[in-house]
Structure 1
Amino acid sequence: MLGKAVVLFVAVAVSPFAAIMVTAFLLKEEIPADRLAFLAALPASHPGPFALGLFVIVALAWAIAALVTYGYIAPLRSIAEGTRVIALSNRRHRLSDEGSREMREVASSINALADRFLAVEADVMGRIQEARQALEEERNTLSALVAKLTQGVLVCNPEGRILLYNPRAQKLLEAEARATGAADWVGLGRSIESFIDETQLAHALEHIHHRLAAGDAAVLVPFVVQRPGGQTLSAHVVPVLDNDRRFRGYILTLEDITQRAGVDARRTTLLQTLTEGQRSAIASVRAAVETILTFPDMDEDGRQQFLGAIRDEAVKMSGRLDALEVEYAEELKAHVPFQEMLGSELVAAIGRSVRETGGVDLEVDAPLDPIWLRVDTLAIERSILFLVSQLSQACSASALSLTLEQRGGLVGLALSWSGAPLHGEALKRWGLRNVMTDRHGTSLNLFEVIERHGGAIWAHPPAIDGRPFVRVVLPVSEGRQGADRDAAEAGYGHDFDFRLFEETTQVVDRMNAPLSKLSYTVIDTETTGLDPRGGDEIIAIGAVRIVNGRLLRREIFDSLVKPKKPIPEASRAIHNISNEMVRGMPPISEALPALHRFVEDTVIVGHNVDFDMCFFALAADETGVRFDHHTLDTLLLEHAIHANQEDKSLEAIARRLGVAVTARHSALGDAVTAAEIFLGMIPLLEERGIRTLAEAKAASAATPAARHHQY
């Protein structure tokens, strides 16, 4: 803009002299020589007036140039950019009412037109929303039903790209891999072959195609999947067909049978031990019996010797059978089918059982927040009933109460009373006494019931209120706790996008692919400082995915990172991340490889993304991963779209595009904001003819700001 102002100024300043020279040239034949000499000598003979006149002309030229440039040209360009934002990205954006009277009138007229357009659009969208309401209800119902299924469910297109998945599938496919450090992420548009062996899946699909070709109407192909960490999944594949019975994709259901497979394997081992272990003993008994029958005239000593051998083998067989019976009973104890139950319902049931069976009023208390337990309800009830009975006799317990409390991943059942305290030795004796007989006829003592729940029990001396108590500690049910947490955070289950059914080919030539067809990962980091080459480090990484032009808020990467050096106070004042918060967090050598898997097969986007990528590059030797992905910078794209907007901060860009800024200066919060900004930029880029990744990168590189973003 300044260059154009200078050109305009020179043109205005030179124009009077040019006019004089042209006039003199045209009239030189008619101007007397003495007049020409006078004009030529005028600057030397009257320097003051001449300089003053020249200054006036130059000042006037500069004023005219500045007036035209900054009063009309610059405001008009800014108005044009703002109008494009209203038309293509943010309908609620309004032009600033500044500048000359004419510019204010233009801006006011455009704002009035935008208000009218917004009102008409709101009316149209209201009618469309009414028409789509039934479809949206069906969509929410489908999402809710899929989310509540106890089996993992995934829907894939023919190439294996995931179109829908529920929380159970995500947990089954991600959790075990997380424990081994080989985690991949379930997500829309990702390939199922990252989780399921390609050969197994191809074999199942080949079987499906063969049966469909044979005219089979009901096709379901089962197979077993072995996962990292010893996890075993039972999988079933069902084809998805269109109205013409053409193959459109498939539904994959998953169930964790690791424990069941382990139980079956151990019981098979017991059976093999029974058969193989008794084979030689039975053979010895048979040989002895056949010898006695073959030689009926055998002397008494010989007969007794063979009978002794039969007796010895029978005793051995009996001993082996007794040992196997004990082992089988222990196997049954270890694998009793537990049920998911709310802690509040459990303590209420215990209170009723104690009152109805023991005739004792037991006051129960539980927190309002749901706490899920995986328990053998009958066994826990019988155990507490047994404790109440023993306490009433041994400690003269009265005013008993049972309180449910949660501390981290554990739940405590605190049974307190008024009366004498309970000594630990007495509890040890009680722990060895039977409290129930299970459905297999196996007797269980108190300690065995607690142990098979993975819990513990101990006696406490009187608390501050003078009441002693016994605490039974049980683990929280991670499955239901996680499901409740997911449901609370995600509303109706997980997202899905059946439009991916139509996209049967992967994007190979990313550079020439339309921006709206690419998948992106938008990233942001928080660091100890602004100098990556001077020793500053990453302390937080946030990322979110964009697929098919949609921001997937549930598919995120959010991790604190433990640095090698303490976090400076000046840095903490910006992002509020303290040294205590990063203690125990993964180091960069673990965090970046995990992020590398998360951003797989996508274009990386960020606000001033070169800053983040520089940290990644400098850590390549330590982490063993290199981020060679294509990148786009929302800051440079803003320069390409809105060159005449002075404020290009993240907040200002978000305000122009109607994006709400939340959790500023948190890695994930800034990543989500940048993602929404990028989605708002795509139509503005397309309007300027920037439609592909190659064109977007070229437009970014051509901006003056690109020269200042080298780290």
Structure 2
Amino acid sequence: MPKRQFLLGIWMLATGLITFAAILFGALLDSQLTPNPSSRIMLWAAVLLAPTTMLLIGFWLEYKLFSPLRHLQIQFARLAANPDAKDDFKPEGWLSGLSNDFSRLREGWRSDRELLSSAREEGARDAARIRHELEAVLAVLDTPLLLCDKHQRVLMLNPAAKAFFSDHPALGLGRHLQQLLPLPNLTEALKKLPTDGSPRQLLLHHEERWLRCDLRRVRANQGEALLTLTDTTDTHESHQRWRQPLAQLLPELRGHTASLTTTAEALSGSAPDSDIRPKLETAMHEETRILGDLIDQLSRVLESLQLDQTCLSDTWSVDLTSAMTDLWEDKAINITPIGIPAWFSADSPTLLAMLEVLLPTLSDSVAIKAFDIEFCLGNKRIYLDLVWEGQPVAQHTLESWRSLPLSEQPLAPRISDVLSQHNSDWWCLPDHDREHARLRIPLPATDRYAEPDRKTQPRPEFHDFSIAELPPPDSELGSCLLKQLEMAVFDTETTGLKLRDGDTVVSIGACRIINGRLRANEHFDQRVNPGMPIPAESTRIHGLNDDDVRDAPPLAVVLPRFRNYVGQAVLVAHNAAFDILAINLPGQEAGVHFDMPVLDTLLLSRAIDPDLEEHGLDALSERFQITFPAGTRHTALGDARVTAELILNLIPRLEARGIHTLQQALELQATAESVRVG
């Protein structure tokens, strides 16, 4: 029981006993003295003076001493957790004399921190500039890059790598590379990388994709390794398409060429009237015919290789028209995009080069300098239409333009090659108004329809080199420092509180803490279909109803993904007994085990501040000045993020009490009073 409640109980008991004794004593005097009315009033006033004084002394001590002491305790807790916290409690009551000294101590502490912070910022300004330039370069690279320490933990990944592993729950800084690419040959290759920085290459088959992985050791103190990944699946499949026919054709070509050579030599050495000469001529004609057929097959293979569409990529029509507008901005031809934007598949640079050759030719032919460009939906095709005011171009004229080269370089591709590459053709047709004409070029369609997201994303964190200084993954977890732990802070929302009687999870939210830093972008947020109606009283708390989770996956599907997200981290929750029960009960049925250590911010707060009464998430958030963004309270991810901020505020207070390691924190947590749930 908290000490304040104990003292309050003693005071109430003493006041009650004194009041009872005074009333008993007053009644005894009243019966023996039988005073007149005025004397009786004075008698009872004197008798009740003691309990009244006792009661007033209690309120006076609460106002002058106990309440100021509690406020001072909370203020010291704030300063220990976050020295920059504001909204201070000024010393009150009998402690008001400490106000000036406390303010000077607090301001001096904050001033020293500001000076240290200013010096650190000034010293790190050049390093920050270099880091930002490096981040800007990494952000625009299309090649996925990962940097790992000697324990194969991810120290850096660029946005291309994030997009490459976008659906993987184990993506994040500090995660083991084996969780992203569970390939034994990659693990062994990283262990055997030469220290002189010479590269090594691997061809990896992972999740139905062929990946070319370039590895090299970075010449740094921590022995980091840099990985670059290239998805070669399309190229690999393309090579297989032409290697097999070539493997069949080339031996036959060699055989028939040798046979033809032998026949020709025999024919040249035979006499004109020899009986074998007609047979040799027949054999020579037959070999020539077979060679012709084989050469024709070889030309078709080479043509299909030239027309290979592996270099086609999804293209947004607005991007192409913007490039065209910029290209002809200072020229006589005017380009105006019209119609609805669309996605299509194309080799954009080559297509743009073809249009750069085609438009001046078309302009000279129709004597028009202004063109509209429109993208129209077709049957599995997207039509690129060049529209002008006038008559269509004759088909024979279009055929003559097919041979136009894209540049003056020898062997430069021609317009016909670009059309063939896109499995396309072209033709002219009059518009519906008969006043305009259009040149139509069909292009392959894609499965994408939505407009690209052009919103500026917040600057992401995609590197943290301090991870390399963390203890090895195989070190004793209990001896790891709290500020160096990898933590997965999570929260659940459920259909109700009776988990053992059928209530279950409707939402799981989690975020990560690595090396004492909350990773804002590495979160897990998943709604769950509970397979049962959500009671109205639960909906009033977390806001989720049956329609919100109807299309969500069941818990048996979500739990393995959440387990992959947690990885080797320590779990953290507020009132963790409830949330652990919520995932462990169904986890046993799904074969998913959460057997890692668990830190409970509720129990840690009770152990640190046993004298304070409120340890709920709302009370602790107010105490440590942690704010809930609008609409996030009682959402799984919102509560998880506040719990993460809370554990980061509690760690300095634990360290001030000599609690530095996970094992020490678990032992302290065990001393706090817990509540049975479920």
- TM-score class normalised by the smaller sequence: 0.7 to 0.9
Q: 2:347 aligned with 1:375, yes or no?
A: yes
Match of residue 305, structure 2, among 331, 352, 365: 331
Q: What's the secondary structure of 1:334's corresponding residue?
A: coil
Match of residue 127, structure 2, among 131, 135, 150: 135
Q: Partners of 1:79 and 1:624 in 2: how far apart? A: 49
Query: 1:22: which partner in 2?
Result: none
- Do the aligned partners of 2:344 and 2:382 also contact (CA within 8 Å) in 1? no
Q: What's the secondary structure of 2:658's corresponding residue?
A: coil
After TM superposition, the score normalised by the length of structure 1 is 0.73
Q: What's the secondary structure of 1:231's corresponding residue?
A: strand
Q: Partners of 2:616 and 2:134 in 1: how far apart? A: 41
Q: Partners of 2:639 and 2:428 in 1: how far apart? A: 48
* Structure 1 position 684, deviation (Å): 1.4
Amino acid in the other structure paired with 1:191: H
Query: 2:215: which partner in 1?
Result: 236
Q: Partners of 2:463 and 2:659 in 1: how far apart? A: 29
Q: Partners of 1:224 and 1:662 in 2: how far apart? A: 46
* Structure 1 position 382, deviation (Å): 4.3
Query: 1:197: which partner in 2?
Result: 183
- Do the aligned partners of 1:225 and 1:235 also contact (CA within 8 Å) in 2? no
CA 1:294–1:392 in 2, change beyond 3 Å: closer, same or farther? closer
Q: 2:372 aligned with 1:401, yes or no?
A: yes
Q: Partners of 1:639 and 1:108 in 2: how far apart? A: 31
Amino acid in the other structure paired with 2:251: E
Match of residue 224, structure 2, among 249, 252, 260: 249
Q: Partners of 2:20 and 2:628 in 1: how far apart? A: 56
Q: 2:65 aligned with 1:72, yes or no?
A: yes
Amino acid in the other structure paired with 1:679: L
Query: 1:319: which partner in 2?
Result: 293
* Structure 1 position 642, deviation (Å): 3.8
- Do the aligned partners of 2:403 and 2:414 also contact (CA within 8 Å) in 1? no
Q: 2:497 aligned with 1:518, yes or no?
A: no
CA 1:282–1:261 in 2, change beyond 3 Å: closer, same or farther? same
Q: What's the secondary structure of 1:240's corresponding residue?
A: coil
Match of residue 252, structure 2, among 269, 273, 277: 277
CA deviations over 1:547-584 (Å, ceiling 9, x no partner): 11111223222334444346566655655556665565
* Structure 1 position 325, deviation (Å): 1.5
- Do the aligned partners of 1:562 and 1:584 also contact (CA within 8 Å) in 2? yes
Q: Partners of 2:344 and 2:99 in 1: how far apart? A: 59
Q: Partners of 1:43 and 1:680 in 2: how far apart? A: 61
- Do the aligned partners of 2:193 and 2:217 also contact (CA within 8 Å) in 1? no
Q: Partners of 1:58 and 1:161 in 2: how far apart? A: 69
Q: Partners of 1:582 and 1:456 in 2: how far apart? A: 49
Match of residue 168, structure 1, among 160, 181, 187: 160
Amino acid in the other structure paired with 1:161: R
Q: Partners of 1:205 and 1:56 in 2: how far apart? A: 85
Query: 1:31: which partner in 2?
Result: none
The root-mean-square deviation of aligned C-alpha atoms, in Å, is: 5.3
Query: 1:703: which partner in 2?
Result: 672
CA 1:330–1:17 in 2, change beyond 3 Å: closer, same or farther? closer
Q: 2:626 aligned with 1:689, yes or no?
A: no
Query: 2:198: which partner in 1?
Result: 219
CA deviations over 1:478-502 (Å, ceiling 9, x no partner): 9xx99977xx4242x6432323333
Query: 1:635: which partner in 2?
Result: 602
Q: Partners of 1:574 and 1:392 in 2: how far apart? A: 71
Query: 2:37: which partner in 1?
Result: none
- Do the aligned partners of 1:340 and 1:477 also contact (CA within 8 Å) in 2? no
Q: Partners of 1:468 and 1:538 in 2: how far apart? A: 58
* Structure 1 position 596, deviation (Å): 0.6
Match of residue 604, structure 1, among 562, 568, 571: 571
- Do the aligned partners of 1:461 and 1:469 also contact (CA within 8 Å) in 2? no
Q: What's the secondary structure of 2:223's corresponding residue?
A: strand
CA 1:46–1:305 in 2, change beyond 3 Å: closer, same or farther? farther
CA 1:362–1:297 in 2, change beyond 3 Å: closer, same or farther? closer
Query: 1:34: which partner in 2?
Result: none
* Structure 1 position 451, deviation (Å): 4.8
* Structure 1 position 521, deviation (Å): 0.9
CA 1:360–1:134 in 2, change beyond 3 Å: closer, same or farther? closer
Q: 2:10 aligned with 1:7, yes or no?
A: yes
Query: 1:85: which partner in 2?
Result: 78
- Do the aligned partners of 1:412 and 1:473 also contact (CA within 8 Å) in 2? yes
Q: Which has the higher helix share?
A: 1
Q: 2:149 aligned with 1:157, yes or no?
A: yes
* Structure 1 position 147, deviation (Å): 3.0
CA 1:272–1:561 in 2, change beyond 3 Å: closer, same or farther? same
Q: Partners of 1:450 and 1:275 in 2: how far apart? A: 28
Q: What's the secondary structure of 1:146's corresponding residue?
A: helix
Aligned residue pairs total 649
Query: 1:670: which partner in 2?
Result: 639
CA 1:609–1:401 in 2, change beyond 3 Å: closer, same or farther? farther
Query: 2:625: which partner in 1?
Result: 658
Q: Partners of 2:159 and 2:141 in 1: how far apart? A: 9
- Give ranges in structure 2 of 5+ residues lacking alignment: 35-39
Q: What's the secondary structure of 1:699's corresponding residue?
A: helix
Question: Which of 525-534 and 437-446 deviates more?
Answer: 437-446
Match of residue 307, structure 1, among 281, 290, 302: 281
CA 1:351–1:474 in 2, change beyond 3 Å: closer, same or farther? farther
CA 1:501–1:311 in 2, change beyond 3 Å: closer, same or farther? same
CA deviations over 1:157-207 (Å, ceiling 9, x no partner): 2222222222223344x25xx4xxxx4523322222332634444345435
After TM superposition, the score normalised by the length of structure 2 is 0.76
- Do the aligned partners of 1:414 and 1:471 also contact (CA within 8 Å) in 2? yes
Q: Partners of 2:536 and 2:420 in 1: how far apart? A: 53
Q: What's the secondary structure of 2:192's corresponding residue?
A: helix
Query: 2:118: which partner in 1?
Result: 126
Question: Which of 679-688 and 619-628 deviates more?
Answer: 619-628
Q: Partners of 2:636 and 2:240 in 1: how far apart? A: 47
- Do the aligned partners of 2:174 and 2:467 also contact (CA within 8 Å) in 1? yes
Q: Partners of 2:567 and 2:334 in 1: how far apart? A: 61
Q: What's the secondary structure of 1:654's corresponding residue?
A: helix
CA deviations over 1:74-94 (Å, ceiling 9, x no partner): 541342232232244243244
CA 1:436–1:659 in 2, change beyond 3 Å: closer, same or farther? farther
Q: What's the secondary structure of 1:653's corresponding residue?
A: helix
Amino acid in the other structure paired with 2:336: E
CA deviations over 1:432-480 (Å, ceiling 9, x no partner): 995867767677489755558xx999999979xx9999796777899xx
- Give ranges in structure 1 of 5+ residues lacking alignment: 19-38, 210-216
CA 1:362–1:142 in 2, change beyond 3 Å: closer, same or farther? closer
Q: Partners of 1:591 and 1:230 in 2: how far apart? A: 24
Q: What's the secondary structure of 1:208's corresponding residue?
A: coil
* Structure 1 position 670, deviation (Å): 3.0
CA 1:43–1:353 in 2, change beyond 3 Å: closer, same or farther? closer
Query: 1:27: which partner in 2?
Result: none
* Structure 1 position 264, deviation (Å): 4.0
Q: Partners of 1:161 and 1:315 in 2: how far apart? A: 63
CA deviations over 1:654-686 (Å, ceiling 9, x no partner): 333233422514433332222122111110122
- Do the aligned partners of 1:638 and 1:648 also contact (CA within 8 Å) in 2? yes
CA 1:441–1:689 in 2, change beyond 3 Å: closer, same or farther? closer
- Do the aligned partners of 1:72 and 1:103 also contact (CA within 8 Å) in 2? yes
Query: 2:233: which partner in 1?
Result: 258
Q: Partners of 1:457 and 1:71 in 2: how far apart? A: 94
* Structure 1 position 412, deviation (Å): 8.6
Q: Partners of 1:661 and 1:458 in 2: how far apart? A: 61
Query: 1:489: which partner in 2?
Result: 457
Amino acid in the other structure paired with 1:202: E
Identity of aligned residues (%): 22
CA 1:457–1:614 in 2, change beyond 3 Å: closer, same or farther? farther
